Structure formats: C-alpha cells, structure tokens
Amino acid sequence: MKGAQSQAIGRSRGDITTKILALTDALGNLVDFRLLPGQAHDLRGVPALIDDLAADHLLADCAFDADWLRTTLAKRSITPVIPPKSNRRFPAEFDKKTYKWRHLIENYFGRLKENRGIAMRSCKTDQSFKAFISLAESIIQLR
C-alpha cells in the first residue's frame, strides 16, 4: 500500500484522522493497541487485537456489536459485555452492572490524549505514532 492508507490516516466526518483501537486490563492499563484509518470501522482491527486474549469478560461499546465477535468470544469462554445496536432485530443480552466499568477505557483515552501530539496526530508515520503512544503509556504508568 502507498500513501495515507499505509499510514492509518483516513478521512472521516471530522477531517483526516486516525483511530486508536485499544485493549486495556481490568484496571484500565493498556495491554495492546492498533491503529486504523479514520474511515475504517472499529471491528476491522479487532481480530488481530483479541488474537491472544485471555480474559473472563470483554467490555466494548455498541460499535463492536457483531455476531461473529460474540461467537468468537463464546468459543474462547470470554463473556462479551457489549450493548446491542439500536437497529438489532433481536437484541443480545448484556450485563449492565459489569458494563458500567467500561468508563476505565474512556479514562485511559482521556489520559492518553493529554499529550497534544497524540490528540492531534502530529507524527507523520505509523511507526513514530505507535512509538509516541507507547512512550505516553509508559509515562502514564509511572504516575
């Protein structure tokens, strides 16, 4: 691939953006992350992200509500805590009490985006942007 697509830069409603797809542990600490172009759907990066996942539950927002993800998690004995999309004909059940803990991932992104370079994607290449995210995560862990 050439150009912006190979650098996870894409056009979305806001402008030219990059999505950070992050996986955190139960305490809100980063486990792994992937970069996606702004126009890409969030589910596109999930298979690589959950490839070696060992957990009891996976909390995600309704953008991750897909039958294939639910069956993949069920085969691996991971309970999906994902609210159904509003347009689902037969909405899937989820534990609302456990879902309340999803704020930890939002808190993580808030701490991560305190770094202006991450919030504004000031790095030109994916490699340097990933390094900047890793460095920011290290600083967060040291706090």
Please tell me the CATH code under which domain 3-142 is placed: 3.30.420
Q: What are the extents of the domains in the chain?
A: 3-142
CA distance 112 to 104: 12
pLDDT at 124: 80
Predicted confidence (pLDDT) per residue in 92-130, tens digit? 899 999 999 999 889 989 999 898 888 887 778 888 889
Structure tokens at 6: 């190979």
Percentage of the chain lying above the pLDDT 90 cut: 38
Low-confidence ranges of the chain (pLDDT < 50): none
Furthest-apart CA atoms within the chain: distance in Å = 46
DSSP at 117 = H
In the block, residue with structure tokens 């069956």? 71
The torsion defined by the Cα of 107, 113, 119 and 124, in degrees rounded to 10, comes to: -120
pLDDT, position 6: 63
CB atoms within 10 A of CB 73: 20
Element (H, E) at 106: helix 103-112
Please give the Cα distance from 55 to 52 (Å, whole number). 10
Q: In angstroms, rounded to a whole number, what is the distance separating the alpha carbons of residues 32 and 34?
A: 7
| pLDDT value at residue 118 | 84
d(Cα 9, Cα 114) in Å, to the nearest integer? 21
DSSP state of 10: E
**Type of residue numbered 41:** H
> What pLDDT does 116 receive?
86
